[in-house]
Amino acid sequence: MLDDFFVRAMLAGVGVALAAAPLGCFVVWRRMAYFGDATAHVTILGVALSLALGMSVFYGALAVALVMALVVSNLTGRGYAMDTMLGVMAHSALAFGLVAVSFLSGVRLDLMAYLFGDILAVGKGDLAVIWGGAALVVALMAWRWQALLTATLNPDLAWASGIDPKREQMVLTLALAVVVAVAIKVVGALLIVALLIIPAASARVLSRDPETMAVGTAVIGVASAMAGLWVSLQYDTPAGPSIVCAAACFFAASATFGRFSLRH
């Protein structure tokens, strides 16, 4: 079954959607979209370093994303605003990554695949990395779910309950780095955040509690992956962008339904 490239693509899309679902909820609740975008951008530098060192792209992207998050966390509040540091780190790392790629001699690199994804080229090894990363993220988020919710809703209450909001922020940072590293093969560095935010934003309109929103986000994410791949197969469109377009259509439908429900 895994010898069929389309089956592998579907499994990869489902794996990334499941990993992105609980994390995407917190990205929306905490308004961390720009942070996620910056994390995704720096992975291009990780790709270049991985190829130069002959190591897996996953580990290079993960390492660079974690370093970026630690640097931003340490420098924020020392004369620099968070959005300023994210902007500097994201665009600098993206530029250095693109320049570094040009120096790699003897390495064939489809840069568009890393920018916009190449899910149809996912192999069995990639599937193992994607599902391993997805299992890690889902387990981590399930373990810290209540603490993360408390820290997100009321930092003062979190402190009173013995929960360190900064520690929970680092948990989110770690999970975000893992999701970005596993998703780069599926939707690419420039579209990862769309897969994090759009399904969560769609489910938010239809949900009454955080857990329902997380489940709804997973369902919409998986449906977006399936629909996008079907459109890509039927009409020969780019797979990664097609998945994001499908997610955008679900968002439009949920927003319309939510507005209609409010009127009635």
Q: Is residue 51 in some structural domain?
A: yes
Q: Which of 186, 180, 220, 181 is nearest to 200 (CA)?
A: 220
Report pLDDT digits (tens) over 112-162: 777 788 888 888 888 888 999 899 999 999 999 999 999 888 888 889 888
Q: Is residue 214 in some structural domain?
A: no
Report field, pTM of the whole predicted structure over 0.85: yes
pLDDT at 264 over 60: no
- Domain assignment of residue 165, given as a range: 5-190
Q: Is residue 198 in some structural domain?
A: no
User: Cα separation of 98 and 148, whole Å?
Assistant: 35
Tally of structural domains, the chain: 1
Report CA-CA distances (Å) from 177 to 1, 49, 58: 30, 16, 10
Q: Can you read off the two tokens belonging to residue 215?
A: 């489940």
- The answer to whether 133 and 19 are in contact (CB under 8 A) is yes
Query: For the domain that residue 34 is a member of, what is the CATH number?
Result: 1.10.3470.10
pLDDT confidence of residue 229: 93
Report pLDDT digits (tens) over 35-48: 777 888 888 888 88
